[in-house]
Chain A
């Protein structure tokens, strides 16, 4: 493709590489860009990626698998967007996604990305698991299939297939049942929401997923959706409308916050713990929802809500975004973002690290084990904290 045809050809050279994008809000360190934190080479910084992208599209450097890995190591966490002082900052992640699109188009992606996309196409999930297993997490919960209830509970791939995330998905369902929420699930008929497919640059596959999901949702009369994952929340809320899918979309923490305020969840029992909340990128920086999870935690008796230095729009990503939960280009090191993040939680004095995203839950849970912090720090989904507070 000629460089001039690249969607951001007039923009991508405007990155000065001043390095603001590496920092959190309070400048503690240069480790708030997950790939840069992991590898500490300029090529892995946000500016490095943009300069390399331009060089590749301009034929100054050739495509290599290493180049592809550098581009795909971006978790699309948007720390760069928040920190960059220049006016084009809103398009930084879009430029990376567009460059990935060029790689997809050229059939030049890392093998793990290829596997991810193939599994979505063939099985509707990145695990390559059978669709029949998609609804198994629900067994024994009493959760019904969607048949016109108020909400669709959209669980997503991680909550459906990952063992640890399934626990939290079940717990959330139980809490919602207890609170009298009218909801149903799609079970084996649920399909991938496409957020990661979109961020990996496979726009054709994403379009297909979005259109099929929208058709399915509309076909059974769904109007309101509560998502387990902020990733699904983001894409259904912000991208499906481009394909004619306009739904009222909520992340589950917004629903739980409302239930607490309406006293449909009340008498939350004592839960004596120092809890730090890890802001998921697709709830926080992507959708600016920082308060709902905190409001829930504050409502639980004797929870001492503490903040890590890096919080809200300065939070460090767990490293699982942009497909990296599966393609895992940032793992295998004490510098992996998830391991850095659990150390930060421990240093802040937390004994519970609360999350509101199944990917963060799994990433950080594994990181606690790798850091051998298991006797000092537990990772819990907010739904699990509420459930325990409710005596469930």
Chain B
């Protein structure tokens, strides 16, 4: 009997540990274009204590540990590049607390976006969270760990800005809490204690988030989505600027896509608006569509398409079927909004060069402070050439992000290298020291964010 396997079984129970080829195969893949790498073991822990014990075992055996949430980053961030123990965290899915008055939720790391949405709708209908465009199986903790953004990014920023506190298992097995909970004062704020921002954006290389407190926001009675169409991409930055000035929109997303063909080359801007009464809704609609965007309609530059009174959950998975091939991956970037026209034009060029229907999306983050701009490339999973084309397009796009003055969001290993090469030497050295200090045996998700 393999002693590591047996030790893992002793920790998490036989049903939740596998070293069989079927589990090793499935967990070797990202859903994007990343090359698969098989783990040696897959474990689905249920408690923080399980994770601590597994991490201590991994240190003792010098074997990598790779934490996995929903597995939907599409950037290969949880592919076990150097094998080891793949930790599927989704069984840790308890919603521990929702504080209605202080508007926060404390969650175990495996709680999914869909689970929290449903729970709030049922038990706290006046509250909502900033839900990303990812499928509902994406986890809250995974999303904050990669600096995700949701449908409240425009008023409130990145989801990682909305963290009130974390519980983290360090690479050496110790447990730490951050934020007000660290002094036993509850989970209501991340400030004003000394900032220890070592766990967000590190792709699980500095520890494993086991609990997260996330801010919640008012859920108004009526939530809907309006669409405005512009003929020319050059107008998108100023339209977004004007929309953010109204401070009446929840989410502002600009996008353009080759599919469906009738909408190709048009720039569509969706604006989420919420209200507690018809009067409030009418007022906001008038300010947004008439007072703010009316001039574009008068000039014939744009048109108001309509307003739907439901917030349909976006189903970006459908992009994977563009080539009837079950795959897509995107490069996300954090970018100044005034780069939208260039991002769109150059993204289209790359797509067309690689024979991929283009899809670009820009979500406004903050009051126009930046946007998350994404270039999406569908591929056919059954066709190695199609995967290769998409991968090349993705790498070209990583380069493009830097060329356009942006920052690659949740980069895969290729993008990480580009960023590390450009990183301020002082920051690089600090990253190296932090990593060495926290993870002396280099067991945490090795291959990611490796500073030489």
Binding site for B on A (CB under 8 A): 13-20, 22-23, 26-30, 39-43, 48, 51-52, 55, 60-62, 64, 66-67, 70, 85-88, 309, 333
Contacts and interface: CB of A to CB of B under 8 A. Distances in A.
Given A26-B118, A86-B317, A86-B321, A18 B29 contact: no
B23 interface: yes
Contacts of B15: 39, 333
A55 B137 contact: no
A14 B26 contact: no
Contacts of B88: 40-42
A81 B317 CA distance: 15
A172 B25 CA distance: 49
Contact of B26 (A16, A22, A42, A87): A42
Given A27-B117, A29-B115, A86-B318, A41 B326 contact: no
B318 A22 contact: no
Contact of B29 (A51, A64, A309): A51
Contacts of B324: 14
B31 A16 contact: yes
B382 A23 contact: no
A352 to B, nearest CB: 23
A16 B322 CA distance: 12
A61 B22 contact: yes
Contact of B115 (A14, A20, A30, A85): A30
Which applies to chain A's interface (DSSP): helix, strand, loop or mixed?
loop
Nearest to A3: B382
Contacts of B315: 20, 85
Contacts of B114: 23, 27, 30
Contacts of B115: 27-30
B71 interface: yes
Nearest to B86: A42
Contact of B23 (A13, A43, A333): A43
B93 A13 contact: no
B20 A19 contact: no
B5 interface: no
A16 B327 contact: yes
Interface centre among B21, B122, B136, B326 (most CB of A within 10 A): B326
A274 B91 CA distance: 32
Contacts of A66: 20-22
Interface residues of B, number: 45
B155 interface: no
Contacts of A43: 18, 22-23, 25-26
Contact of A40 (B91, B118, B137, B317): B91
Interface in B294-330: 315, 317-318, 320-321, 324-328
A87 B321 contact: yes
Most B CB within 10 A of own CB, among A15, A18, A40: A18
B369 to A, nearest CB: 30
B381 interface: yes
B16 interface: yes
B44 interface: yes
A19 B136 contact: yes
A349 to B, nearest CB: 14
Contacts of A18: 31, 72, 135, 137, 317, 320
A64 B26 contact: no
A321 B70 CA distance: 28
27 contacts: A13-B325, A13-B381, A14-B381, A15-B326, A16-B326, A17-B71, A18-B31, A19-B136, A19-B137, A26-B121, A27-B136, A28-B115, A28-B118, A39-B15, A40-B16, A40-B88, A40-B90, A41-B23, A42-B88, A48-B26, A52-B25, A55-B25, A61-B22, A66-B21, A66-B22, A85-B317, A86-B321
Contacts of B25: 43, 51-52, 55, 60-61
Contacts of A22: 137
Interface centre among B18, B27, B121, B135 (most CB of A within 10 A): B135
Given A28-B115, A51-B26, A23 B136 contact: yes
A330 to B, nearest CB: 12
